[in-house]
A = this chain, B = another copy of it.
Amino acid sequence: MGKQIDIGRVLANLPLFQQLREGEIANLAAGTREIGLGKGRILFQKGTLLEGFYVVVRGQIKLAFTSPQGNEKVVSLVGPGQSFGEAVMFMERPCPVMAQALEDSRLLHIAKQGIFAAIDHDSAFARRLLAGLSMRLHGLIQDVENYSLRSSTQRVIGFLLQLAGTPGSGSVIFELPASKHVIASRLNLTPETLSRILHSLIESGLITVHGRRIVVQEMARLSQFDDLPHPPCAKGG
């Protein structure tokens, strides 16, 4: 079923390109190529120079780095409608991470030439790009905050609450966006630790788990869950 994609239409529906004029969409589309990527295939390795950025149309892409010892750390999971690689494109430096398809995926590659032209013609577009990069930066800061001053349990809870979305209390059901192995890496945990934490949340009656399907019994209670046996006392700054 190699359904042909209407590149212009897909581009026009991306939040980033919303208010762009037709001529500019066409211009972008001219520099855009479609990429199919089978599950497990690597799109680019760490160190690559990017001549544009990518939009996920279908499937899921994992961004990760690998340590000299061969361990792997997932930085980001990118799903349909989301994009990646903009920052690397603007920096004109080797990409700090690798990109790999977690499922059979379909991507668009948008050449930087068209993006720069759109920036020149439409300063509102430039602002949207700036806002987009800023949001991404904000997400990374949150990651740093999570890694450096939250416990593993708190990180898992935060992740679940984020997936659950609606901050209103009550019970919510949803699916993990990837295998537990990948989720664990994203949260800077080993699969074993993630398994144990989920187990303890289940035992506390806060959630139930069937495969990737999670039911949060009550958001409010989950967000207040505190694990620490010896709460360390605050120190004035």
Give the chain B neighbours of A87 by CB distance below 8 A. 133-134, 137-138
A162 CB to closest chain B CB (Å) equals: 15
Whether A69 contacts B133 by the Cβ 8 Å rule is no
A74 CB to closest chain B CB (Å) equals: 10
A145 close to chain B: CB less than 8 A: yes
A136 close to chain B: CB less than 8 A: yes
- Interface pairs (27), CB distance under 8 Å: A66-B237, A67-B150, A70-B236, A71-B149, A71-B232, A71-B235, A72-B237, A73-B144, A87-B133, A87-B138, A90-B127, A90-B130, A90-B134, A91-B131, A92-B131, A96-B138, A96-B141, A116-B127, A119-B123, A119-B126, A119-B130, A120-B123, A123-B123, A123-B126, A133-B134, A140-B140, A147-B147
A51 CB to closest chain B CB (Å) equals: 15
Give complex CA distance A73, B69 in Å. Answer: 27
Give the number of copies in the complex. 2
Give the chain B neighbours of A119 by CB distance below 8 A. 123, 126-127, 130
Give complex CA distance A86, B130 in Å. Answer: 9
For chain A, residues 82 to 129, give those with C-beta under 8 angstroms from any C-beta of chain B: 86-93, 96-97, 116, 119-120, 123, 126-127, 129
Give the chain B neighbours of A126 by CB distance below 8 A. 119, 123, 126, 130
Complex A-B, nearest 5 residue pairs according to Cβ-Cβ distance, in ascending order: A70-B234, A87-B134, A126-B126, A67-B149, A90-B134
Q: Which of A120, A141, A143, A235 has the most CB of B within 10 A?
A: A141
**Count of chain A residues with a beta carbon within 8 Å of a chain B beta carbon:** 52
SS of A interface (majority): helix
A4 close to chain B: CB less than 8 A: no
Q: Which of A142, A236, A237 has the most CB of B within 10 A?
A: A237
A148 close to chain B: CB less than 8 A: yes
Nearest B residue to A97, CB-CB: B141
Nearest B residue to A129, CB-CB: B130
Give the chain B neighbours of A127 by CB distance below 8 A. 90, 116, 119
Give complex CA distance A218, B4 in Å. Answer: 58
A7 close to chain B: CB less than 8 A: no
0 or 1 for each of A36-55: is its CB under 8 Å from B? (1 = yes): 00000000000000000000
